[in-house]
Copies of this chain bind each other. A is one copy, B any other.
Amino acid sequence: MEQVTIKDIARICGVGVSTVSRAINNHPDINPETKNMINRVIREQGYVPNNSARNLKRTEAKSIAVLVKGMNNPFFTSMVKSIEKEIKQKKYAMVLHHVEYDEDEIDVALELIKEKRLKGIIFLGGYFKHSSEKLGYLNVPFILSTAGGIGETMNQAMYSTITVDDRKESYQIVEYLIQSGHRKIAMLSASRQDESIGKLRLEGYKKALEEHGISFRQELIKSMDETVEPYSMENGYQATRQLLDSKEEFTALYAISDMMAVGALRAIHEAGKRVPEDYSVVGFDGIDIGKYCIPTITTVNQPIEEMAKETIGLLFDIIAGKKKHQHKVFSGEIVIRESTKSI
């Protein structure tokens, strides 16, 4: 279990530690021969530099952390991939970290800042109802991307945001349903206490109903089961079953995530009904699975690629001091597929 250190290597090679250090870090001022010799010994000994010590010493590390809330959602997976591509292109290192739904992302970020020498942070998802005070501890630029519940209690100049307008997009997908002739539109919503995207999407739903003279009925709203993973297929399945069992009449179902919509499809199928003949179903996010389901799912597509590009681009600009924090809103796009029909 004994760790071999840089000193051991130096001793074995009969050189000083700085020479070994130079060999490791490809410094110019070193004799190629000694360098080769040192590298050979390093391999022989299986020596790996201790990163803790390195980070402790190093001035800068050119790394960016990406904190993802909830590792399950495939939506974030593709977002992360896009971001990673961009980060690598800029020759930065990406530190990916998952945050549980019940963890505090700021605390995690603070840990990370002290551990790695971060140049910036990207938060993906999450709710973000933190005080300005706490946010102030974050002494590197950070961006909230596709995060909900932003801007009420927080000082807008302290950070950037990249989002879609959840309220508006939600409004539009519901309006699409209304224009397709649906008037009894059920919704698979977030939990009742949700203060995040769930709330915004619910507001959009209500507004669309209102503007088209349809009265809101609480009975048509099914909230997520908090004991089941949020936004999951299982959650969508459960909620839809409840809805079906309740015998409430509806012709369309709006799930606030594509994953939930998949569960809804199943529940409807099991009830002996068909999509879209008996019920139209729409989701939200635009993840891959919606393209493979049978039927494929009509949804609000979030421009993942663009948002990722903008996120990382903005972050680099802020790091370089070229820009100030800003709040960008992207437009979603309704993608009509097989799960909806006009009535």
Contacts and interface: CB of A to CB of B under 8 A. Distances in A.
Interface in A72-86: 72, 74, 77, 80
A294 interface: yes
Chain A interface, >50% SS class:
helix
A265 B289 contact: no
A114 interface: yes
Nearest to A137: B46
Given A263-B292, A265-B294, A114 B50 contact: yes
A136 B46 contact: yes
Nearest to A139: B1
B56 A288 contact: no
Contacts of A234: 288
B48 A110 contact: yes
A157 interface: no
Contacts of A24: none
A52 B288 contact: no
Contact of A49 (B46, B71, B114, B289): B114
A279 B296 CA distance: 20
B292 A48 contact: no
Contacts of A179: none
Contact of A51 (B50, B114, B263, B294): B114
A262 interface: yes
Contacts of A185: none
Contacts of A114: 3, 48-52
Nearest to A113: B48
Contacts of A65: none
A269 interface: yes
A289 B288 contact: no
B233 A288 contact: yes
Interface string A1-42: 111000000000000000000000000000000000000000
Contacts of A113: 48
B48 A137 contact: yes
A237 B51 contact: no
A140 B3 CA distance: 11
Contacts of A237: 292
A55 interface: yes
Given A71-B77, A293-B293, 15 more contacts: A1-B140, A2-B139, A3-B139, A46-B136, A48-B110, A48-B137, A50-B56, A51-B115, A52-B55, A96-B98, A234-B288, A237-B292, A263-B292, A266-B291, A266-B294
